[in-house]
A and B are shown apart, each in its own frame.
Chain A
């Protein structure tokens, strides 16, 4: 069974640009969550999509947005990049019927903003 696939793995952008990250979930997983991970803040929840609908949202500014397609693949977008957006962005998927918190993570997209 293929795992969670995130692209691109690494990218460098400059302030003010925008970026789009992609996540392909494990087959059959309909819940896709996005996290930002930095050394100082740890894993911070961005948002979660289920059946193309945003079901939960974290405490991030509107520059961070996402969407989910009918095949459960998801994208997240960050507009007007700031230096502080440099981080590892992780996608996590779940197929659990219950709220158990069992997540399967991709390897992440490491974003550097110069």
Chain B
């Protein structure tokens, strides 16, 4: 079992839909949780960053962390074709190595 599990998709939704992207993890020491967005032929870019449990909202994006279930989510409201990309979750512990553990990424397609 990989340390971080993420469904690769693709997830195809119509424009305007609410999108839910998820990751599960096994290491209870993870404290920092991130979502990166990667457009085709580009490098990943940091989208959302959350410390420990709870919700964080930024415009149409909401990141949610449930440490008791070892489950994190990214919600996209009013999805747009420009949101079509691969979304990677990543997480790190609060000490030790500075290297985040990445999920494999979920490919999202928002069609007009």
Contacts and interface: CB of A to CB of B under 8 A. Distances in A.
B is bound to A: yes
Contacts, number: 64
Nearest to A4: B43
A72 interface: no
Interface in A55-103: 55-56, 58, 90, 92, 94, 99-103
Given A42-B105, A43-B88, A101 B100 contact: yes
A46 to B, nearest CB: 10
Contacts of B92: 99-101
| Contact-residue bracket for chain A | 20 to 34
Contacts of A31: 98
Listed residue (A48, A100, A103) with the most chain B CB atoms within 10 angstroms of its CB: A103
Nearest to A40: B104
A21 to B, nearest CB: 13
| Contact-residue bracket for chain B | 20 to 34
Given A33-B99, A42-B105, A56-B97, A101 B45 contact: no
A25 interface: no
A31 B105 CA distance: 24
Contact of A102 (B43, B49, B93, B99): B49
A43 B36 CA distance: 12
B57 to A, nearest CB: 18
Contacts of A56: 97-99
B99 A45 contact: yes
A52 B92 CA distance: 23
28 contacts: A4-B43, A33-B99, A41-B104, A42-B103, A42-B105, A43-B44, A48-B98, A58-B99, A90-B44, A94-B98, A99-B32, A99-B98, A100-B32, A100-B49, A101-B32, A101-B98, A101-B99, A101-B100, A102-B34, A102-B46, A103-B44, A103-B100, A105-B36, A105-B43, A105-B45, A106-B43, A107-B43, A110-B41
Interface of B: 32, 34, 36, 41-46, 49, 51, 88, 90-100, 102-105
